[in-house]
């Protein structure tokens, strides 16, 4: 097994991304024949109802996480809620699933998006550097 620090968590919804402010988190690659991953999130209790509904529905859903370093490309997963534990004013959410095999290359998507804006060379370079630092969500085309 390999473990990674979870830095950022986005729940992918039909109308876009919902970034949830995690207090702490870990991602575990189980390195088994099922290619299973475990994501554990520690977050404010105010998000409990979101995960309770997902658990009750028992459906798989998509998430996107950044692991280890802030500049890493977001990793897409397909997961299910396995367990929710209340710990004081926080909750621990255990998700199990698999990594999506098709990963979009963020830098290429960002560059394509910016090229369509007909920017000057200096402006393009500046916006590209800023986008790679801040990683704004890009609209699907």
Segment 10-28, tens digit of pLDDT: 999 888 889 999 999 999 9
The tokens 């997961």 sit on which residue? Answer: 79
Q: What does the pLDDT read at residue 112?
A: 87
Mean pLDDT of 33-47: 94
The three-state (H, E, C) secondary structure of the chain, written as one string: CEEEEEEEEEEEECCEEEEECCCEEEEEECCCCCCEEEEEEEEEHHHHHHHHHHHHHCCCEEEEEEECCCCCCCEEEEEEEEEEEEECCEEEEEEEEEECCCCCCHHHHHHHHHHCCCCCHHHHHHHHHHHHHHCCCCCCC
Q: What does the pLDDT read at residue 86?
A: 97
- Residue 3 tokens, joined: 């473990």
Structurally, what CATH architecture does the domain formed by 2-99 represent? Beta Barrel (2.40)
Q: Which of 3-7, 36-40, 113-117 has the lowest average pLDDT? A: 113-117
Phi-psi region of 126 (alpha: psi -120 to 50; beta: other; left: phi over 0): alpha
The domains of the chain are located at 2-99, 104-141
Which residues have C-beta within 8 Å of that of residue 78, sequence separation ≥ 6? 60, 61, 62, 97, 98, 100
Mean pLDDT of 114-135: 87
- Residue 136 tokens, joined: 């704004």
Long-range CB pairs of 21-26, under 8 A, 24+ apart, other chains included = 23/90, 25/65
Segment 54-111, tens digit of pLDDT: 999 998 999 999 999 888 888 899 999 999 999 999 999 999 999 986 555 777 888 8
């Amino acid at each position: 097994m390999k473990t990674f620090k979870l830095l950022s968590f986005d729940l992918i919804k039909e109308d876009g991304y919902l970034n949830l402010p995690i207090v702490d988190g870990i991602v575990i690659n189980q390195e088994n024949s099922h290619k299973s991953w475990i994501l554990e999130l520690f977050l404010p209790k105010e998000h409990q109802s979101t995960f309770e509904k997902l658990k009750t529905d028992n459906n798989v859903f998509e998430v996107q996480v950044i692991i280890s370093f802030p500049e890493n490309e977001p990793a897409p997963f397909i997961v299910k809620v396995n367990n929710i534990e209340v710990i004081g004013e926080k909750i621990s959410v255990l998700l199990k699933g698999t990594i999506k095999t098709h990963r979009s290359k963020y830098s290429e998507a960002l560059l394509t998006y910016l090229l369509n804006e007909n920017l000057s060379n200096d402006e393009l370079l500046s916006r590209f550097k800023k986008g790679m630092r801040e990683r704004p969500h890009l609209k699907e085309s």
